[in-house]
């Protein structure tokens, strides 16, 4: 088998490439050039930097596999960066990594995989793909601390048939040990945390590139009374408590953002609670919706799963939480699990109070 | 590996390696010294300068300035002339120039010069009339002898004449880096006052080049230091590189007729077979073009994908120019010719070199046709 390995320059994808080789496959390494400054230069800090591409290139050389940098700048700008800004401008809290996976990595790159002469696409994500009699399942990564199945929930049967995630079968320490044993230069490289196309602070990036979110406006309470002012909705996230610039006896939290009118709505902890959420861009790993609609749901990447029921509503899907949830932010993904199995997921379109 | 990227750089000729060897060994001297070790290096270098001058039809050896390569020669020509004396205030160049020229010209503009970048026709050729229209008194005109991407040969003598007729004190520079190996380049054929060359495109080493500067032209140096090369290019001489450069020039000149026949034959066979095998093939430029270049568009096939598949199939080719990360960038040359992004993204350059013969052309065509066939 010939594998196209998406190498970011980090330890996980480095080891993914090494594992494919050890399993006897042919490997072609690629790095996606996703973002560049206005002058065409690549970022020099954060993820996806020149140094990262160089690490990927050097690891590929060490593994003696061909390596290429693929230009996905226009693709990425159109499918990830523009929607990222548009989501904030609509008062949402987007997850650009999910958009990248949905629209670039497991879409355009996967479409190119065979054109590039390869049979499968391999990434360094912590999740597992299983094939049971021709039906593919997507499972949480073996390492609960690193599980990345949340950002892969959009993968369906067609994608999973052509995707391998070898790192999902290992823990992070095992991955680092393996990299050390092979003497890979990325063995001790710190994990990247940032959004790859944002240098330091995503707010500064948005202020520069999407001015709608940087308009000064009012802070109001849930009754609509003005209680303060702000310098742009971008400075706030749903559930935020600190830095509101207003004082009350009881703690206040951001419960809603309305960039169109430059309004930040704050409320009490009780005002944050939501009973459910309406989803869009819904997909199911199996292709069909599950028979059992009682599921465990993650509403943020780092949130613990909570119990919810999946219901059909007006041609779409609504998740009803068994217990009210706080800080459910439109734009984030809600991902449904049954045990270790990813059932599917979608983007939170609006909350149900 | 069937290497068809000789325009990027080509194989070092055995004669060059042999000629350079002593200067990486016992003849290691710095030419700027008074003792015998220096003298040996100095004599070899000055003898090489005389040979280079003769090859270019220069009036005197000191019209040759040795540089660290073609880019440096272009920088010295444009900035050196633009900054010298304070009189020459206009730079006229074409939109298809190598970045070494374009970026030098833009830098001159930032330093206060007036810059005119002249467009080209759809076949990538500069029109003498357009150059003349942009040229005034005390203008530096820089147009390449042949384009490095498409291979389109420019009507340089006409351009030079038209430019000189448009103003007083006009200086004509040409970047002949890509052309020299297959096109006769002398002061007479190019009608130029300055000519840039690079060794590594001729079968010489990287990091060595020269600028021919007609006697009487004053250049402001762009690299400052110990005053070597009559103050025009400071820095300890790369003697081995200079010997390699001049040997490669000599080999290119003595080999030129054979190169045109043999390597041109390989290119022609490549295009013949490929045209027979594939429908819809488009040639980017027509004649006159460099005999070693084949610039083609494969409609419906992304060049980035094609180049990767070719690499895996053992064929090395190129498209546009590679950025620092290695990704392919949109070609400014094709853009200047009016090609859309989509067309440019389907265009590939195959460039043959002195090591190729007609059998390589046929072999290459078959391999390329097979890969393109799979991608269609």
Estimate to the nearest angstrom the gap between the alpha carbon of B316 and the chain centroid: 20
CB-based contact A40 B323, cutoff 8 Å: yes
Say if residues A87 and A94 touch (Cβ distance below 8 Å). Answer: yes
Chain B residue at shortest CA distance from A44: B325
CB-based contact B308 A31, cutoff 8 Å: no
Asked if pLDDT for residue A155 goes beyond 80, the answer is yes
CB-based contact A33 B327, cutoff 8 Å: yes
CA angle centred on A25, ends A23 and A31, rounded to 5°: 110
Distance CA A126, CA B89 (A): 61
Q: What is the pLDDT of residue B328?
A: 72
Asked if pLDDT for residue A48 goes beyond 80, the answer is no
Considering only CB atoms, A115 lies closest to which of B305, B311, B328, namely B305
Q: Assign domain A215-270 to a CATH class.
A: mainly beta
DSSP B255: H
CB-based contact A68 B329, cutoff 8 Å: no
Chain B residues in contact with A66 by the CB 8 A cut-off are: 308, 311-312
CATH of domain B14-251: 3.40.640.10
CB-based contact A53 B304, cutoff 8 Å: no
Distance CA B190, CA A115 (A): 45
**Average per-residue pLDDT in chain A?**
91
Q: What is the pLDDT of residue A133?
A: 87
CB-based contact B325 A31, cutoff 8 Å: yes
DSSP B64: E
Question: Does A314 touch chain B if contact means CB atoms closer than 8 Å?
Answer: no
Distance CA A308, CA A322 (A): 5
- Tell the residue number behind the tokens 């503009």, with chain if given: B109
Strand partners, A296: A307, A337
Q: For B293-319, how does the pLDDT look when each residue is reduced to its tens digit (9 = 90+)?
A: 999 999 999 999 999 999 999 999 999
> Which CA distances in Å does A323 have to A262, A272, A276, A297?
31, 13, 9, 12
CATH of domain A2-181: 3.40.50.620
Distance CA B141, CA A339 (A): 73
Chain A residue at shortest CA distance from B301: A115
Chain B residues in contact with A50 by the CB 8 A cut-off are: 324-325
Q: What is the pLDDT of residue A242?
A: 84
Considering only CB atoms, A33 lies closest to which of B305, B309, B325, namely B325
Q: What is the pLDDT of residue A247?
A: 75
Chain B residues in contact with A42 by the CB 8 A cut-off are: 323-325
Q: Per the structure block, which two tokens stand in for B322? A: 């590679």
Point out the least confidently predicted range of A83-92, A277-286, B241-250: A83-92
Q: Per the structure block, which two tokens stand in for A342? A: 């990813």
Distance CA B247, CA B236 (A): 20
Distance CA B338, CA B124 (A): 9
Asked if pLDDT for residue B289 goes beyond 80, the answer is yes
Q: What is the pLDDT of residue A213?
A: 84
Say if residues A198 and A25 touch (Cβ distance below 8 Å). Answer: no
Q: What pairing do the DSSP bridges indicate for beta strands A26-33 and A2-6? A: parallel
Chain A residues in contact with B305 by the CB 8 A cut-off are: 112, 115-116
Considering only CB atoms, B304 lies closest to which of A40, A57, A71, namely A71
Which residues make Cβ contacts (< 8 Å) with residue B199, sequence separation at least 6? B69, B205, B206, B207, B208, B209, B241, B244, B245, B248, B249
Q: Is the torsion defined by CA of B241, B244, B245, B246 positive or negative?
A: positive
Which residues make Cβ contacts (< 8 Å) with residue B120, sequence separation at least 6? B94, B95, B96, B126, B127, B336, B337
Domain map (residue ranges) of chain B: 2-6+255-375, 14-251
CB-based contact A50 B326, cutoff 8 Å: no
Helix, strand or coil, per DSSP, at residue B365: helix
Question: Does A53 touch chain B if contact means CB atoms closer than 8 Å?
Answer: yes
Chain A residue at shortest CA distance from B328: A71
CATH architecture of B2-6+255-375: Alpha-Beta Complex (3.90)
Chain A residues in contact with B324 by the CB 8 A cut-off are: 41-42, 50
CB-based contact A31 B304, cutoff 8 Å: no
The beta strands (E) that lie in B243-362 are given as: 282-283, 293-297, 315-316, 321-322, 328-329, 347-351
Asked if pLDDT for residue B325 goes beyond 90, the answer is no
Query: B103: part of which helix (H) or strand (E)?
Result: helix B99-110
Chain A residues in contact with B308 by the CB 8 A cut-off are: 28, 66, 68, 116-117
Point out the least confidently predicted range of B140-149, B152-161, B328-337: B328-337
Q: Determine whether domain A273-352 maps to CATH 2.40.30.10.
A: yes
CA distance A49 to chain B (A): 9
Say if residues B177 and B148 touch (Cβ distance below 8 Å). Answer: yes
Q: What is the mean pLDDT of residues A117-122?
A: 97
Q: Which of residues 106-145 of A touch B (CB under 8 A)?
A: 112, 115-117
Chain A residue at shortest CA distance from B376: A115
Asked if pLDDT for residue A43 goes beyond 90, the answer is no
DSSP B126: -
CB-based contact B325 A69, cutoff 8 Å: yes
Percent of chain B scored above 70 by pLDDT? 97
Q: What is the pLDDT of residue A207?
A: 83
**What is the SS3 assignment for B328-358?**
EECCHHHHHCCCCHHHHCCEEEEECCCCCCH
CA angle centred on A47, ends A43 and A48, rounded to 5°: 60
- Tell the residue number behind the tokens 């949340």, with chain if given: A150
**What is the SS3 assignment for chain A?**
CEEEEECCCCHHHHHHHHHHHHCCCEEEEEEEECCCCCCCCCCCCCCCCHHHHHHHHHHHHHCCCCEEEEECHHHHHHHHHHHHHHHHHCCCCCCHHHHHHHHHHHHHHHHHHHHCCCCEEECCCCEEEEEECCEEEEEECCCCCCCCHHHHCCCCHHHHCCEECHHHHCCHHHHHHHHHHCCCCCCCCCCCCCCCCCCCCHHHHHHHHCHHHHCCEEEEECCCCEEEEECCHHHCCCCCCCCCCCCCCCCCEEEEEEHHHCEEEEECHHHHCEEEEEEEEEEECCCCCCCCCEEEEECCCCCCCEEEEEEEECCEEEEEEEEEECCCCECEEEEEEECCEEEEEEEEEEEEC
- Find which of A36, A39, A116, A118 to mutate to test the B interface (most B CBs within 10 Å of its CB): A116
Task: Answer left, alpha or beta for residue B257, where phi above 0 means left and psi between -120 and 50 means alpha.
Answer: alpha
Considering only CB atoms, A66 lies closest to which of B311, B324, B327, namely B311
CA distance A26 to chain B (A): 11
Domain map (residue ranges) of chain A: 2-181, 215-270, 273-352
Chain A residue at shortest CA distance from B313: A117
Question: Does A60 touch chain B if contact means CB atoms closer than 8 Å?
Answer: no
**Which is more confident, B326 or B63?**
B63
Considering only CB atoms, B375 lies closest to which of A33, A73, A115, namely A115
φ, ψ at A349 (rounded to 5°): -85, -45
Q: For B82-117, how does the pLDDT look when each residue is reduced to its tens digit (9 = 90+)?
A: 999 766 689 999 999 999 999 999 999 999 999 999
CB-based contact B325 A42, cutoff 8 Å: yes
What order of strands is seen across the sheet that includes strand A2-6? Answer: A67-71, A26-33, A2-6, A120-122, A163-164
Helix, strand or coil, per DSSP, at residue B59: coil
Chain A residues in contact with B323 by the CB 8 A cut-off are: 33, 40, 42
A37-69 core/surface letters (b: 16 or more CB in 10 A; e: else): eeeeebbeebbbbbebbbbbbbbbebbebebbb
Distance CA A6, CA A67 (A): 10
CB-based contact B312 A28, cutoff 8 Å: yes
CB-based contact A117 B304, cutoff 8 Å: no
Say if residues A109 and A32 touch (Cβ distance below 8 Å). Answer: yes
CA angle centred on B79, ends B76 and B84, rounded to 5°: 100
The set of catalytic residues of B is 323
- Find which of A2, A3, A52, A71 to mutate to test the B interface (most B CBs within 10 Å of its CB): A71
Q: Is the torsion defined by CA of A133, A138, A142, A144 positive or negative?
A: negative
Q: Per the structure block, which two tokens stand in for A186? A: 């990325």
**Which is more confident, A260 or A178?**
A178
Point out the least confidently predicted range of A230-234, A247-251, A341-345, B260-264: A247-251
A-B interface: how many C-beta pairs under 8 angstroms? 44
Distance CA B215, CA B232 (A): 13
Residue from A48, A100, A118, A277 carrying the catalytic annotation: A100
CATH topology agreement for domains A2-181 and A215-270: no
Q: Per the structure block, which two tokens stand in for B339? A: 């090609």
Q: What is the pLDDT of residue A40?
A: 60
**pLDDT band of B323, cuts 50, 70, 90:** low
**pLDDT band of A42, cuts 50, 70, 90:** low
Q: What is the pLDDT of residue A39?
A: 60
Chain A residues in contact with B311 by the CB 8 A cut-off are: 66, 68
Chain A residue at shortest CA distance from B324: A50
Asked if pLDDT for residue A62 goes beyond 80, the answer is yes
**Average per-residue pLDDT in chain B?**
95
Estimate to the nearest angstrom the gap between the alpha carbon of B120 and the chain centroid: 18
Q: What is the mean pLDDT of residues B24-48?
A: 95
Q: What is the mean pLDDT of residues A17-32?
A: 97
The reply to whether A196 belongs to the active site is: yes
Q: Per the structure block, which two tokens stand in for B236? A: 């300890």
């Amino acid at each position: 088998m010939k594998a196209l390995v998406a190498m970011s320059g980090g330890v996980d994808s480095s080891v993914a490439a090494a594992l494919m080789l050890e399993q006897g496959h042919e490997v072609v390494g690629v790095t996606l050039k996703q973002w560049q400054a206005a002058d065409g230069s690549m970022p020099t800090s954060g993820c996806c930097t020149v140094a990262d591409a160089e690490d990927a290139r050097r690891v590929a050389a060490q593994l003696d596999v061909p390596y290429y940098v693929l230009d996905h700048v226009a693709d990425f700008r159109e499918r990830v960066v523009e929607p990222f800004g548009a989501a904030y401008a609509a008062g949402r809290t987007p997850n650009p990594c999910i958009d990248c996976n949905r629209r670039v990595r497991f879409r355009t790159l996967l479409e190119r995989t065979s054109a590039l002469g390869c049979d499968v696409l391999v990434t360094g994500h912590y999740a597992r793909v299983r094939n049971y009699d021709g039906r593919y399942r997507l499972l949480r990564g073996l390492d609960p601390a690193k599980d990345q199945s949340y950002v892969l929930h959009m993968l369906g049967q067609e994608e999973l048939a052509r995707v391998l995630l070898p790192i999902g079968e290992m823990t992070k320490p095992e991955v680092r040990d393996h990299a050390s044993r092979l003497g890979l230069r990325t063995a001790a490289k710190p994990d990247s945390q940032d959004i790859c196309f944002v240098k330091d602070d995503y707010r500064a990036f948005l202020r520069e590139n999407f001015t709608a979110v940087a308009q000064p406006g009012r802070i109001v309470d849930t009754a609509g009374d003005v209680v303060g002012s702000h310098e742009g909705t971008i400075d706030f996230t749903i559930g935020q408590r600190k830095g509101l610039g207003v004082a009350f006896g009881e703690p206040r939290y951001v419960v809603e953002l309305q960039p169109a009118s430059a309004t930040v709505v704050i409320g009490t902890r009780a005002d944050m609670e939501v009973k459910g959420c309406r989803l869009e861009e819904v997909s199911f790993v199996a292709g069909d919706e599950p028979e059992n609609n009682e599921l465990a749901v993650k509403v943020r990447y780092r949130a613990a799963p909570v119990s919810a029921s999946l219901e059909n509503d007006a041609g779409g899907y609504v998740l009803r939480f068994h217990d009210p949830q706080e800080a459910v932010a439109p734009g984030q993904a809600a991902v449904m699990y049954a045990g270790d199995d990813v059932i599917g997921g979608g983007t939170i379109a609006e909350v149900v109070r | 590996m069937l290497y068809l990227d000789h325009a990027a750089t080509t194989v070092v000729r055995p004669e060059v390696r042999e000629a350079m060897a002593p200067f990486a060994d016992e003849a290691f001297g710095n030419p700027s010294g008074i003792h015998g070790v220096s003298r040996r290096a100095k004599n070899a270098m000055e003898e090489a300068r005389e040979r280079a001058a003769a090859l270019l039809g220069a009036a005197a050896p000191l019209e040759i300035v040795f540089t660290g390569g073609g880019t440096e020669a272009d920088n010295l020509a444009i900035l050196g002339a633009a900054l010298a004396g304070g009189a020459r205030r206009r730079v006229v160049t074409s939109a298809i120039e190598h970045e070494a020229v374009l970026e030098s010209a833009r830098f001159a503009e930032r330093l206060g010069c007036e810059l005119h970048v002249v467009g080209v026709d759809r076949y990538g050729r500069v029109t003498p009339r357009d150059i003349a229209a942009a040229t005034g008194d005390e203008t530096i005109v820089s147009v390449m002898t042949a384009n490095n991407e498409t291979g389109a040969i420019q009507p340089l003598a006409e351009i030079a004449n038209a430019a000189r007729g448009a103003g007083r004190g006009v200086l004509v520079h040409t970047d002949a880096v890509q052309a020299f190996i297959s096109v006769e380049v002398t002061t007479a054929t190019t009608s130029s006052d300055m000519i840039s060359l690079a060794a590594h495109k001729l079968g010489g080493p990287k990091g060595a080049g020269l600028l021919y500067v007609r006697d009487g032209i004053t250049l402001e140096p762009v690299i400052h230091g110990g005053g070597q090369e009559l103050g025009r290019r400071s820095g300890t001489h790369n003697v081995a590189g200079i010997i390699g450069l001049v040997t490669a020039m000599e080999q290119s000149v003595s080999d030129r007729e054979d190169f045109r026949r043999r390597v041109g034959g390989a290119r022609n066979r490549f295009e013949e077979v490929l045209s027979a095998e594939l429908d819809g093939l488009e040639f980017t430029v027509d004649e006159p073009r460099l005999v070693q270049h084949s610039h083609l568009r494969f409609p419906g096939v992304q060049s980035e994908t094609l180049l990767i598949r070719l690499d895996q199939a053992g064929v090395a080719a190129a498209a546009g120019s590679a950025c620092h990360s290695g990704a392919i960038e949109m070609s400014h040359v094709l853009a200047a010719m009016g090609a859309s992004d989509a067309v440019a993204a389907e265009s590939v350059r195959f460039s043959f070199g002195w090591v190729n013969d007609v059998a390589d052309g046929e072999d290459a065509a078959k391999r390329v046709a097979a890969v393109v066939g799979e991608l269609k």
